[in-house]
Amino acid sequence: MALSNVRICFVGDSFVNGTGDSQCLGWTGRICSAAIKQGHDITYYNLGIRRETSADIAGRWLEEVSRRLPEDCDRRIVFSFGVNDTTIENGKLRVELSKTKENTQQILSVAKTSFFVLMVSPPPIAEIEQNSRVETLSQELAIICQQLKVPYLDVFTPLQKSEVWLKEVAANDSYHPNAAGYLEFANLVQNWDAWQSWLNS
């Protein structure tokens, strides 16, 4: 059965935004385009902002989604963030791991009381030391989501093995891929049981 009057906000950072994609779709645009082609009535909002950390997102997400998800529609949110938290600036992490976990716990705890919620892990980049921190963070986010019963998709592990993703990230800015890399990302979400359940609920 096709969904009707569904509004989905994708909240996060540059990877949610689709930065680097010459087709300006990213993974979020691709999965929503595919869903609409399947006959689902979806309104899609991309709320990805470059360089934003979990702290930035914690401060803005509720106001932004509340404006776009009125109570008379099917209200859904997909969160994805974390890479910026693990960046070192001026000799220190932008956001300490314990604080990222605290921010995530708060965001998801509030979100799931009013909205259907999914979370997607941060992806790998081309910087080895930072990737180690991203991987650790991804594992911690998985634990939080499991505790809160929020479906969580690990894209870090499969994308770290993707030649297409890694090649495009290295050829670009060491962080963001182009269209083919985002297609790899989109396919992971597209084939995720939780996303498919959303479309068929």
Could you read off the pLDDT of 159-190 as tens digits, one per residue?
A: 999 999 999 999 999 999 999 999 999 999 99
Q: Can you give 91-145 as a three-state secondary structure string?
A: CEECCCHHHHHHHHHHHHHHHHHHCEEEEECCCCCCCHHHHHHHHHHHHHHHHHH
CA-to-CA distance for 24 and 30, rounded, in angstroms? 10
Match 């529609």 to its residue by tokens.
73
CA-to-CA distance for 164 and 160, rounded, in angstroms? 10
Tell me the percentage of the chain whose pLDDT exceeds 70: 100
For residue 54, give Cα distances in angstroms to 79, 85, 137.
10, 7, 12
Which amino acid appears at position 31 of this protein? Answer: I
Residues 6+ apart with CB under 8 A from 99: 54, 55
CA-to-CA distance for 170 and 183, rounded, in angstroms? 16
Total-model pTM:
0.98
Give pLDDT tens digits for 115-125. 999 999 999 99
Give pLDDT tens digits for 104-149. 999 999 999 999 999 999 999 999 999 999 999 999 999 999 999 9
State residue 186 phi and psi, 5-degree precision.
-60, -40
